[in-house]
């Protein structure tokens, strides 16, 4: 790469570097998903940084075994015992496993336990149960309970009132390209489907946005393309719509997995 307008943003003095943490915090505020209402707001915000082209894929679209899911909502998610509420899954975005189906009934604690997602090593955290938004046909139901709350549960009968709904929506995917002197293309890709997740998600997006803002000022040999969309499903449908000639021009792909983790790249 030949630079024509200044040094790399990753070799600048600390006080000159672009704001990564601030942008990461902003992006983490959105309640995103493979299909989610806040995806619109997310791409509106990203559009103030780079002129993304947004492509939409309707719920129910299928390709090679993958499915664009419906828009999923949680209406009630309460666990009670002896007439007293012990957990409300709507108190946090991650309190209900994504794409859980409705369930209403009474269960013994041993029957309830397989439907509770928790982590003893992170006692205050809500675990992000995301699998069913990529495999909607396999969805069951579960609630994500911080371990400090889970420990207050015990033997007895519990009442579960979980009401969710599904309706058609759209999966959004954003794309920005910096043209180089060659049509040989290097793709940088990151996911937008992990709401509030910084290290496995929006920190990578923030880094790539700042990188491409710098690339816009450079004379490069390669063409560089930034693709932001849901992991797995977004990549599958994005590649589905590329021509064979375009795919032949792709020479490399980079995914910035967990850029906040200590240690060398």
* pLDDT, tens only, 174-229: 999 999 999 999 999 999 999 999 999 999 999 999 999 999 999 999 999 999 99
Tell me the pLDDT of the chain averaged across its residues: 93
Q: What is the pTM of this model?
A: 0.89
Q: Cα dist. 174→45, 120, 218, 226 in Å?
A: 12, 37, 22, 8
| pLDDT tier, 58 (very low <50, low <70, confident <90, very high otherwise) | very high
Which of 5-14, 24-33, 210-219, 238-247 shows the lowest mean pLDDT across its residues? 5-14
Q: State pLDDT tens for residues 137-159.
A: 999 999 999 999 999 999 999 99
pLDDT in tens, 69-98: 999 999 999 999 999 999 999 999 999 999
Q: What angle do CA 211, 215, 218 make, to 5 degrees?
A: 150
Asked if residues 170 and 59 have their Cβ atoms less than 8 Å apart, the reply is yes
């Amino acid at each position: 790469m030949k630079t024509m307008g200044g040094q790399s943003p990753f070799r600048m003095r600390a006080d000159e570097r672009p704001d990564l943490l601030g942008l990461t915090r902003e992006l983490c505020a959105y309640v995103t998903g493979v299909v989610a209402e806040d995806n619109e707001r997310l791409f509106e915000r990203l559009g103030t940084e780079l002129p993304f082209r947004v492509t939409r894929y309707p719920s129910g679209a299928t390709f090679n075994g993958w499915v664009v899911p419906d828009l999923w909502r949680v209406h009630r998610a309460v666990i009670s015992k002896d007439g007293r509420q012990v957990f409300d899954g709507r108190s946090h975005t991650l309190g209900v496993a994504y794409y859980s189906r409705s369930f209403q009934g009474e269960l013994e604690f041993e029957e309830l336990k397989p439907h509770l997602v928790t982590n003893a090593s992170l006692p205050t955290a809500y675990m992000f149960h995301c699998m069913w938004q990529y495999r909607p046909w396999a969805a069951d139901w579960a609630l994500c309970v911080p371990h400090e709350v889970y420990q207050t549960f015990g033997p007895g009968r519990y009442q579960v009132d979980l009401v969710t709904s599904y309706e058609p929506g759209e999966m959004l995917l954003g794309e920005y390209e910096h043209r180089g002197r060659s049509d040989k293309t290097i793709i940088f890709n990151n996911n937008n489907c992990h709401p509030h997740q910084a290290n496995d998600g929006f920190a990578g997006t923030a880094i790539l946005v700042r990188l491409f803002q710098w690339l816009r000022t450079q004379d490069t040999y390669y063409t560089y393309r930034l693709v932001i969309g849901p992991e797995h499903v977004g990549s599958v449908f994005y590649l589905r719509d590329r021509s064979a000639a375009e795919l032949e021009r792709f020479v490399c792909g980079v995914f910035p997995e967990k850029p906040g983790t200590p240690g060398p790249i």
